[in-house]
Amino acid sequence: MRISIDWLKEFVKIPSSTQEVADLLTMLGLEAEETYDTTQLTDIVIGEVKAKDIHPNADKLSLCQIFDGKNELPVVCGAPNVDVGQKIAFAPVGSILPEGIKIGKAKIRGEVSNGMICSESELGISQEHDGIMVLKENAKAGTPFVQYILENAASIELDITPNRPDCFSHIGVARDLSVKMSTPLSSPNYNPRIYKKNEVKDMISIEFENTDECPRYVAGVVQNVEVGPSPDWLKNRLESIGQRSINNIVDISNFVLMEMGHPTHMFDYDKFESKSLLIRRGKNGEKITTLDEIERKISPEQLMITNEEKPVAIAGIMGGLDSAVTFDTTTVLIESAYFDAPTIRKGAKSLGMSTDASKRFERGADPNGAKNAYWRVVQLLEEVAGGDWVPGIVDPYPKVITQNPIVLTRKKLDLLTGCDIDDSFVIHTLNGLGCNINGKSDKWICTPPTWRPDLEREVDLIEEVLRVYGYDNVPSKYHYNGVMEGHNPDPHKGLAHIISVLTGLGFTQLFNNSLQSNRQVSLLDIPSVKILNPLSDNMNQLRTSIIQGLLKTADFNIKNGTSDLMLFEWGNVFEQKEPGLEGIVEKFHLSGIIHGAIHQKSIHRSIGRLSSIFVLKGLIKTFLARIKIHDIVFHPDTDNEFGFENALSVHTQGDVIGYIGDISNNIIDGMNLDIAKSFGFQFDLNKILLLSEREIKYRPIINFPIVDRDLNFVINESTAVGEVISAIEKNGKAILKSVNPYSIFRDESVGSTKKAVAINLRFQSSTKTLEDKDVNSVINEIIRVVSKIFSAKLR
């Protein structure tokens, strides 16, 4: 909502500095988003258009004579609205406009132009660029434009929150200021007229289908109006807040809207087929062409104003074109209604429309304001358009809307605010905002005005008092009552450590988009959660795995020159297991990939080290050990659903906690990525967090010596060394401490389908110094078992 400073001054005395007003409003909860800055306009002066001729060489340009207070200068102007006698904002030769454009002496199509007549957008005071800015008649040629703008057109753009429909108007904003500054508030003139006979009743009758949707419909008629351009004061008012003047009748409706906040509509009375209006729900198949010349398809979602079955307006949203005021209109039917907020909201939403009227109705207009607005429109129609009011008013209002009284207690006020606010301040504030207040300090009875539908409860009143009191005046308390809870204060406590270990190992953390395309998601055989209203097809479902995002990022970095990558991300992935919300499973994952070289070739290493599954396996083992998960076992796993080839599942204590493997080419090709070989891991983060919380129990240090033995088995090429190791471990009794294969030898002498694996075994007893015979018996058993299972031979 754009508020004109000059307009505000009609209702309340305000500080002279626009910035000061903006700050006051912001601290009242009416956030000033932008004050139109005029400090860069010092070069601009007010000029007067003394003469205007068509440019000899261009029909669309005018050749004007501008009086700048001293001289008359020739100026070429392209705006259609320039005219003799106008006062305008003139940028003389040598001046600089806010956008940095310097005005020079120019020849335009052969004619000399000594300066420029400016539009509002060129001056940086609004977006208006359809024509030049026309100033008030009393502006004096030759005086600085800044002075004029400060007095006349300074404005503030306010961001009005949805709870304050009353502040979509100058009077509403003025009221808040008057309360804050304790200065009186004047109201616009909307005194009811006195009449003997309600003549308008013979001209118009209103019927309702449902009065809950339209609780009140005020109507009246003004005859013999003369439709034409608005007087300058009216034009200036509207233009000062960025509205365009259309004609005097429409301008009056808009003026009242901006002044009091109540939407009204002007029909051309003669376009109606009968005097009766029916307010009813729209029907499927119905159509109406609205004022903006767009044909709208109506449904029962909309409330319609109809005349003899024909829709003439979409209630509370926009009028119809057929019954609109034109330059031929002589008799105006004024509508000033009050519609139910949710009804208008649903109607506007289903049409995808948002208008100045619908914005106010859907937030809650003032049912009593409807009548005030009517009288204000009547008065202005007579004053501005020379109309004759038809005495009377049609005002069906079967259930009068009132606000319920609210009890406000001192106890709650003190408790909630935490500060001490005087009785007199409370009363002054609530009165000033329009509340009727009775009772004493411990218990006030307060009835809010109908223009404040947001005031329904005690807390709402407390907010009003506190907001006017000033949040900055509330003392900050640094002593507060504590709450202590015995449980773990952060269920993800271990995550910071996990991140620190991974980054310490060389992994870089990513945050990727959880919204993905069907193409990305469908690469895995996991049913995904789909979005009903996606931003685009590229983001129409939720990720089922973190891996694709990592690969996409890897691809991005490879294309940008970084190909040695170690990346990880934690976050949620989603699976639609069964239909509906209950069928959605959110899984907490930790995933990563490695790609390229882990160690670069350097002076110290003649060859770099490329990432491989063994590099990853080692990294994972170190990572897990570092977060207290020591006893892990890798098993081949062809059955994983995460797109790994040659996958290994990671087991600990009989449970699978994750997977590692080669990233499958299906995924890389499916996503169209330029990635060579990469390797990935995926862990169930909840399981890891839980496991890493394990308590450490100290085991006494064993001082008995370690005995090293090496075994060299010849086994079939197809036998996995890991299985041999497991077999050895299983048969190592209590004294086998570690098993470590250190070389694989392939040679004719060993056999073409065989390999010789040298394995180091370390033994230690916790109770004594091992003797040869202790170790030998275990070794013999190991040799026996391994030989049997794997048809192995000692070399």
Partner 1 sequence: MNIKESIESVQKSFRADSDPFPNDSQSIEDLRIKYLGRRGLVADLFSGMKDVPVEGRPLAGKLLNELKQEIGSAFDAQVDLSKSGAPNKGESDYSLPGLSFPIGHIHPLQQIMDDIKSIFMDIGFSVAYGPEIDDDFHNFSALNFPPEHPARDMQDTFFIDPKTVLRTHTSNVQIHLMEEKDPPLRYIIPGRVYRNEAISFKSYCLFHQVEGLYVDKFVSFADQKGILEYFVKRMFGSDTKMRFRPSYFPFTEPSAEVDIWSEKRGQWLEILGCGMVDPEVFKSVDIDSNDWHGFAFGMGVERICMLKYGIDDIRLLYQGDMRFLEQF
Best CA proximity match to 346, nearest among 281, 265, 397: 281
Kindly state whether residue 614 participates in binding partner 1, applying the rule CB under 8 A.
no
Kindly state whether residue 708 participates in binding partner 1, applying the rule CB under 8 A.
yes
Q: Give the integer Cα–Cα distance in Å for 650 and 659.
A: 6
Q: Which single residue is written with the structure tokens 């060299």? A: 712
- Which DSSP helix (H) or strand (E) runs through 726? helix 721-730
Please pick, from the candidates 106, 610, 721, 758, the single residue that binds partner 1 as defined by CB under 8 A.
758
Please pick, from the candidates 106, 185, 278, 416, the single residue that binds partner 1 as defined by CB under 8 A.
416
Kindly state whether residue 415 participates in binding partner 1, applying the rule CB under 8 A.
yes
Kindly state whether residue 22 participates in binding partner 1, applying the rule CB under 8 A.
no
Least distance to partner 1 from the beta carbon of 437, Å? 19
Q: Could you tell me if 719 and 790 are in contact, meaning their C-beta atoms sit under 8 angstroms apart?
A: yes
Least distance to partner 1 from the beta carbon of 567, Å? 7
Kindly state whether residue 564 participates in binding partner 1, applying the rule CB under 8 A.
yes
Least distance to partner 1 from the beta carbon of 643, Å? 19
Stretch that binds partner 1, among 121-129, 246-254, 280-288, 592-600 (CB under 8 A): 592-600
Stretch that binds partner 1, among 95-103, 197-205, 706-714, 723-731 (CB under 8 A): 706-714
Report the DSSP beta bridge partners of residue 64: 52, 75
Report the largest interatomic distance among the alpha carbons of the chain, rounded to a whole angstrom.
128
Q: Give the integer Cα–Cα distance in Å for 118 and 88.
A: 8
CB proximity list for 203: less than 8 A, separation 6 or greater? 221, 269, 275, 390
Footprint (CB under 8 A) of partner 1, residues 337-356: 342, 345-346
Least distance to partner 1 from the beta carbon of 685, Å? 11
* Both tokens assigned to 780: 């013999």
Of 82 and 435, which has the nearer Cβ to partner 1?
A: 435
Of 237 and 363, which has the nearer Cβ to partner 1?
A: 363
* Both tokens assigned to 298: 């109506």
Of 65 and 557, which has the nearer Cβ to partner 1?
A: 557
| Burial class of residue 43, CB neighbours in 10 A (0-12, 13-18, 19+) | middle
Footprint (CB under 8 A) of partner 1, residues 104-163: 161-163
Best CA proximity match to 283, nearest among 255, 310, 254: 310
Footprint (CB under 8 A) of partner 1, residues 431-470: 457, 459-460, 462-463, 466-467
Stretch that binds partner 1, among 1-9, 186-194, 381-389, 572-580 (CB under 8 A): 572-580
Q: Report H helices in 472-612.
A: 495-505, 518-521, 547-559
Least distance to partner 1 from the beta carbon of 230, Å? 32
Least distance to partner 1 from the beta carbon of 349, Å? 8
Footprint (CB under 8 A) of partner 1, residues 481-500: 481-485, 487, 489-492, 496, 499-500
Kindly state whether residue 94 participates in binding partner 1, applying the rule CB under 8 A.
no
Kindly list the strands in the beta sheet with 155-159, ordered across the sheet, starting from the edge strand earlier in the chain. Answer: 2-4, 155-159, 31-35
Of 373 and 594, which has the nearer Cβ to partner 1?
A: 594
Of 30 and 370, which has the nearer Cβ to partner 1?
A: 30
Footprint (CB under 8 A) of partner 1, residues 23-52: 26-29, 31
Number of residues that bind partner 1 (CB under 8 A): 103
Helix axes 495-505, 613-626, angle to 10 degrees: 140
- CA 359 → CA 11, 345, 547, distances in Å? 24, 8, 45
Q: Could you tell me if 758 and 745 are in contact, meaning their C-beta atoms sit under 8 angstroms apart?
A: yes
Q: Give the integer Cα–Cα distance in Å for 480 and 497.
A: 31
Kindly state whether residue 474 participates in binding partner 1, applying the rule CB under 8 A.
yes
Kindly state whether residue 781 participates in binding partner 1, applying the rule CB under 8 A.
no
Of 603 and 696, which has the nearer Cβ to partner 1?
A: 603
Footprint (CB under 8 A) of partner 1, residues 517-546: 529-535, 539, 542
* Both tokens assigned to 110: 């052969």
Stretch that binds partner 1, among 22-30, 132-140, 145-153, 625-633 (CB under 8 A): 22-30
Least distance to partner 1 from the beta carbon of 112, Å? 42
CB proximity list for 523: less than 8 A, separation 6 or greater? 548, 643, 666, 667, 670, 671
DSSP state, 199? G
